[in-house]
Amino acid sequence: MVSQVGPSTKSLIYVANARIPTKKAHGGLIMAACDAFASLGLVVSLFVPRRKNDLKEDPFSFYDVIPSFTLRHFFTIDLFSFEKYIGVLSFWIQSISFYISVFFSLLFRSRKNVVIYSRDILALFLFFLGYKVVFECHLLPKKKKLFFFLTRFSHRLVVISQSLAQSFLDQGISSSKIIVAPSPVVISLFDVSISMEDARTQLSLPENKYIIGYCGSLKTMGEDKGVADILRSLSFLSFDVLCVIVGGSTDDISYYKNMAEELEVKDKVLFVGFVSQSRLAMYQKSFDTLLMPFPNTPHYAHVMSPVKMFEYMASKKPIIASDLPTIREVLNDTNCLFCLPGDSKDLATKIQHLIDTPTLSSVLGEKAYCDVQVYSSSSRAVRIISHIFDS
């Protein structure tokens, strides 16, 4: 249990085959997880590949994380700049070379009271070195048979949704091996003490408009995340509404800008692009309402645990979200206004409803903030540590 964890007895090595820092959400989650594990008394090391990175800032500064754990970079053959020539081979060369480096680093270390923790399926091969490997699962790949075979080598499984947990149970994996731990949030990063008016002034946003906001990547694995429905909904809104979209790659922003122009709503949309977490928190404080109208696809309905959901909740702003099973695992009718997935007119109706009932907006925002406390990074880390060090 957690009470038994101490820096002299328990160690966790987080292996992440990812660029750190990165503009993608997983980078912040990995750093926050390591910080939370370390704060509970574990000796934590984060192993990442040494890759080409346009972001030159120190990772701890970039994510506003105290250096409470060790960050180590390992040799890898980074050929992603040649991906258009060699395709998926660039991924396998990079991944295998990284794990070979990690393999030899761990080969002669003590296995006693050490757990390997990773979101990468390839990390499970470290089991053959005699380590206990904990796998954190965020999605199911296309080749499920091999995937489920490999996960049987894990010491414990951490999954982000009940639907994912059921997938493992259906494969005959014991429930005692699985813990459901939705995506966490560092609440203090998004519960910033600034008024909506001051936030708008600092961000040069209009004070006299009703601002609806969307934050995060615009697509996942090439799939739209509801941004198209947001743009379509604007044509149904007669109120003076501005939609501010924060995040997204250059290509995705260009794609949706063209869509906004075709829908003749470009004057109602502002695309901001990637911003730091501190600035993201300020943007969320500047909005009247936050949106996440995910489409009804297998991934969004049965697998995901969106980071933005918890960041939205921590901002104390009202949320309009698609009525999907994964969303219902966290949100309900007391802390969220639900819309029909894929129905832009219904989304517009729900936005208008919040415009007309500011008291409801306040109630929803406050209740969401109250409910998000159990999803903090620290609370999640306590549960996970109890699960993976219980034997």
pLDDT in tens, 341-373: 999 999 999 999 999 999 999 999 999 999 999
Q: Are residues 140 and 198 located together in one domain of the fold?
A: no
- From the number of C-beta atoms within 10 Å of its C-beta (0-12, 13-18, 19+), residue 251 rates as exposed
Q: Are residues 140 and 244 located together in one domain of the fold?
A: no
Range of the domain at 27: 2-184+376-388
* The two three-digit tokens of residue 185, written as one number: 């949030």
Q: Are residues 177 and 289 located together in one domain of the fold?
A: no
Q: Are residues 42 and 154 located together in one domain of the fold?
A: yes
What single-letter amino acid sits at 42? L
Q: Are residues 89 and 199 located together in one domain of the fold?
A: no
Q: pLDDT band at 93, cuts 50/70/90?
A: very high
Q: Are residues 258 and 147 located together in one domain of the fold?
A: no
C-alpha 354/C-alpha 363 separation (Å) is 11
Q: Are residues 132 and 281 located together in one domain of the fold?
A: no
Q: Are residues 217 and 146 located together in one domain of the fold?
A: no
Residue 2 scores a pLDDT above 80: no
Note the pLDDT of residue 239: 74
> Which CATH number covers residue 271?
3.40.50.2000
- Single pTM value for the model: 0.88
Residue 164 scores a pLDDT above 60: yes
pLDDT in tens, 264-300: 999 999 999 999 888 999 999 999 999 999 999 999 9
According to DSSP, the residues that pair with 47 across neighbouring strands are 15, 72
Q: Are residues 272 and 207 located together in one domain of the fold?
A: yes
Q: How many residues does the chain have?
A: 391
* The two three-digit tokens of residue 123, written as one number: 């990390």
Specify the DSSP class assigned to residue 213.
E
C-alpha 253/C-alpha 273 separation (Å) is 7
Q: Are residues 260 and 382 located together in one domain of the fold?
A: no
Give yes or no for a contact between 306 and 183, defined as CB atoms under 8 angstroms apart: yes
Return the ∠ at Cα 311 (arms to 59 and 369), rounded to 5°: 135
Q: Are residues 299 and 383 located together in one domain of the fold?
A: no
Note the pLDDT of residue 391: 55
**What is the pLDDT averaged over residues 383-387?**
95
Note the pLDDT of residue 1: 36
Four-point Cα dihedral 51, 53, 59, 61, nearest 10? 160
Q: Are residues 49 and 171 located together in one domain of the fold?
A: yes
Q: What's the structural domain count of the chain?
A: 2
Give yes or no for a contact between 51 and 19, defined as CB atoms under 8 angstroms apart: yes
pLDDT in tens, 45-64: 999 999 999 999 999 999 98
